[in-house]
Structure 1
Amino acid sequence: MKSAVLVIDVTNDFLTGSLKNDRALKTIQPIKELLGRAHQQAVPVIYVSDAHYKEDHEFEIWGQHSMKGTWGGQITEELAPKADDYTFEKRTYSAFFQTGLDSLLRDLQVDNVILTGVVTNICIQHSAADACFRGYEITIPKETTEALNDDDYEYALNYVQNMYGAKITSLSDTLN
């Protein structure tokens, strides 16, 4: 089985900006550790981040955030992509929706996606759904994703496990 690590929405706005989430800050170090392992093992690392335009309908729900070309829309410096990593922009919840991600994963012959980032019950959950619908296996290391509260976090992990067969693992059991 060939894996790729997907790093979803680790932008400044999600961590310290307009949608600041102190819970999400706890994911930085575990994601950094996982990325170190991925790079050592030549596992592809793919960033997919919100890059919104002022017309995006999502603002009706969440307010303006991660605007394309702004500081808030940039990937946080602590998790900045390496030269050989891949980056995609998205305008809605799923990392797969109109991003080119699926084509890249198929070119790389990936069959397992390791989902990391925020927010577990929104972008991670919707990305897991689209990954499942496209035939990918899904792994989620618990320490590398976070929601706005415990209930949403646990619900989302249970949902993707029960509905999409996602493997919920610990960081220590991922890419070892």
Structure 2
Amino acid sequence: MRPALLIVDMLKEFVHGRLKSPEATQIIPAISRIASIARSKGIPVIYLADHHYPFDHELSIWGPHAMQGDPESDIIDELKPGPGDIVLYKRSYSGFRETGLDYILRDLGVDTVILTGIHTHICVLHTAIDAFYNRYKIIVVEDAVSAFNKGDHEWALNYMRTVLGSTILSSREVVSLLEGGAVVKNDRL
């Protein structure tokens, strides 16, 4: 397994602002811990951040959010990118659409993406769908993703598990996996 950690939309707008997930602050410690271990192991850490123009299609659904130049579009202070981390800006739900993510992952020799961030049923899900179509193995960290409500969160986790073949793990399991101490019983990994 050659993984990369993807941190999706952990922006001020989605953690503290108008489009926040009620559990957004609760997933920060898990993401921080996984990112720290990934960095120590030389595993790429890639941030995918909404960054919209006033004419972006998605704004017709959600209204203005994470607008370019607005401080609300900044990554939260608790998860600021470290030296060597990659930040990619996106204008749609998927972190793969028009960001160069697939090229970067291939250049880095990555075959597995570890998904964290918000919202489980929107940007995390659409990033997982494109990861599937691009032939990556997918790990979703169930306690390091969140949605507007538990129903949306659980629905999206189930969809990613059953339809995309994603492996759903706890942050504890992912930490153990990255540290080399766990064997995941799944033929997909």
Determine if the TM-score, normalized by the shorter chain, exceeds 0.5: yes
Q: How does 1:50-129 map to 2 (within 5 A)?
A: 50-129=50-129
- C-alpha displacement at 1:22, in angstroms? 2.6
Partner Cα separation in structure 1 for residue 49 and residue 26 of structure 2: 18
The size of the alignment, in residue pairs, is: 176
Which deviates more, 18-27 or 52-61?
Answer: 18-27
- C-alpha displacement at 1:57, in angstroms? 1.6
TM-score of the two chains, using structure 1 as the length reference: 0.98
Structure 1 counterpart SS, 2:143? helix
TM-score of the two chains, using structure 2 as the length reference: 0.91
Partner Cα separation in structure 1 for residue 112 and residue 20 of structure 2: 30
Identity of matched residues, %: 42
Structure 1 counterpart SS, 2:20? coil
Partner Cα separation in structure 1 for residue 69 and residue 3 of structure 2: 30
- RMSD value, Cα: 0.8
Does the aligned pair in 1 maintain the 2:3–2:112 contact within 8 Å?
A: yes
Q: How does 1:128-143 map to 2 (within 5 A)?
A: 128-143=128-143
What's 2:2 paired with?
2
Query: In the alignment, residue 160 of structure 1 is paired with which amino acid?
Result: M
Partner Cα separation in structure 2 for residue 21 and residue 122 of structure 1: 12
Partner Cα separation in structure 1 for residue 51 and residue 60 of structure 2: 16
Structure 1 counterpart SS, 2:52? coil
Unaligned runs of 5+ in 1: none
Unaligned runs of 5+ in 2: 180-189
Partner Cα separation in structure 1 for residue 28 and residue 62 of structure 2: 22
Query: C-alpha offsets along residues 125-166 of structure 1, whole Å, 9 cap, x if unaligned?
Result: 100000000000000111110011111000000001111110
Does the aligned pair in 1 maintain the 2:20–2:148 contact within 8 Å?
A: no
Query: In the alignment, residue 138 of structure 2 is paired with which amino acid?
Result: I
- C-alpha displacement at 1:114, in angstroms? 0.2
Structure 1 counterpart SS, 2:23? helix
- C-alpha displacement at 1:40, in angstroms? 1.1
- C-alpha displacement at 1:87, in angstroms? 0.7
Partner Cα separation in structure 1 for residue 15 and residue 61 of structure 2: 18
Structure 2 counterpart SS, 1:145? strand
What's 1:22 paired with?
22
Is residue 2:173 matched to residue 1:173? yes
- C-alpha displacement at 1:18, in angstroms? 2.4
Partner Cα separation in structure 2 for residue 171 and residue 115 of structure 1: 11
- C-alpha displacement at 1:16, in angstroms? 0.7
Partner Cα separation in structure 2 for residue 83 and residue 168 of structure 1: 28
Q: How does 1:38-53 map to 2 (within 5 A)?
A: 38-53=38-53
Partner Cα separation in structure 1 for residue 69 and residue 8 of structure 2: 17
- C-alpha displacement at 1:58, in angstroms? 1.1
- C-alpha displacement at 1:20, in angstroms? 2.5
